[in-house]
Amino acid sequence: MQHTPFDLQLLNACAAILLLLSFAMLAQRRIVALVNLLALQGAMLFIATMLLAWRTGQNHLYVSAALTLGLKVIALPWLLHGLIKRLNVQWDSEPLLNVPGTMLIGLVTVVFSFGLAQPIAQLASTATRNSLGIAVAVILLAFITMITRRKAMSQVVGFLSMENGLFFGAMSATYGMPMIVEFGVALDVLVAMLVLGVFFFQIREQFDSLDLANLESLKEDQ
C-alpha cells in the first residue's frame, strides 16, 4: 500500500461521496429530497474545488469554488425550491421506479465509465486524474436519472447533476476549465434554469401536470 498525502485522501473521499450522492439521487423518489441532494452534491464539489485550489495553489480555482458555492449550493436549489412551492408539487414522487434494478444498472454504468476513463486518465498529469472515472460515472448516472424519470422537475435536477459531473471532470483532468468557459457554463446553467422554470408553468397549463409522458403523443393522434 503506497502512502498518499492527507489532502489527496480528503479529495478522494470527496470524489467517493460525489459518486454516492449520484446513486442517492438515482434512488430518490421525492422531488424535495432530490433538490436537497443536488445542493449537497454542489457542496461536495465546492469542498473538493477548495481543497484542490489549496493543494495546487492555482488561484483561479478559488474563483470557480466561489462560483460553485454561489450558484450550485445556494442559488439553484433556492430557485428550485421556490418553483416547487409555487407549482405546489412538494409531495410529488415518481410512481414507476424499480430501485434495485436501477441500482444494478447504475453499478454497471460505473464499471463502464471507470473502464472508459482509465486510458484518458493515463494522459492527464494531475494528481487527481484517478477521479476522472468518478466524474464520468456521475455524468452517466445523471443521464440515467433523467431517462428513468417522468416528471419535468426531476429531469431538470438530473440535468444539473450532469453539469456537476462535467465540472468535476474538468477539475480532476486539467485543474478546471479556462475561466471564461467556466463563467459561460455557469451563466448557461442559470439561464437554462430560468427558461425551464417558465416551461414548467407552460407545461402545467397545457396538461394540468408536470408528467412529461404527455409530451410524447403528437397532437394529430388525439
Partner 1 sequence: MSTVAWLTQFLEVLAALTLAPLFLGWVNACRAWLQNRRAPSVLLPYHGIRKLFHKDAVIAASASPLFRLAPYVVFGAMVAAAAVIPSMGTGLPFRSAADAIALVGLLAIARVFMSLAAMDIGTAFGTLGARRDMMIGFLAEPALLMVIFVASLISATTALPLIAERVMVQPLALYPSLAFTAVAFTMVLLAENARIPVDNPATHLELTMIHEAMLLEYSARHLALMEWAAALKLFNYACIGFALFVPWGASIGETGIGPLALSIPALLAKLGVAGLWLALLETVSAKLRVFRAPEFMATAFMFAVLGLLVHLLLGA
Contact 189, 163 (CB under 8 A): yes
Closest CA to 105 of 26, 20, 18: 26
Q: Which stretch binds partner 1 (CB under 8 A): 68-76, 129-137, 138-146, 187-195?
A: 129-137
**Sole binder of partner 1 in the list 66, 111, 181, 191 (CB under 8 A):** 111
What is the spatial distance between Cα 26 and Cα 35, in angstroms, rounded to a whole number? 12
- Residue 131 touching partner 1 (CB under 8 A): yes
What is the spatial distance between Cα 152 and Cα 215, in angstroms, rounded to a whole number? 11
- Residue 99 touching partner 1 (CB under 8 A): yes
CB atoms within 10 A of CB 134: 26
Q: Which stretch binds partner 1 (CB under 8 A): 85-93, 127-135, 180-188, 198-206?
A: 127-135
- Residue 17 touching partner 1 (CB under 8 A): yes
- Residue 91 touching partner 1 (CB under 8 A): no
58: left (phi over 0), alpha (psi -120 to 50) or beta: beta
In sequence order, which residues have a C-beta less than 8 Å from that of residue 7 and are 6 or more positions away?
A: 51, 54, 55
- Residue 6 touching partner 1 (CB under 8 A): yes
| Of 75 and 97, CB closest to partner 1 | 97
- Residue 179 touching partner 1 (CB under 8 A): no
| Cβ at position 133, least distance to partner 1 in Å | 5
Q: DSSP alpha helices (H): ranges in the chain?
A: 6-27, 31-56, 59-68, 76-87, 99-123, 132-148, 152-174, 179-207
Quote the Cα angle for 63-79-143, to 5°.
80
**Sole binder of partner 1 in the list 96, 100, 216, 217 (CB under 8 A):** 100
| Cβ at position 1, least distance to partner 1 in Å | 6
Binding site for partner 1 (CB under 8 A): 1-4, 6, 9-10, 12-13, 15-17, 19-20, 23, 27, 99-100, 103-104, 106-107, 110-111, 114, 130-131, 133-134
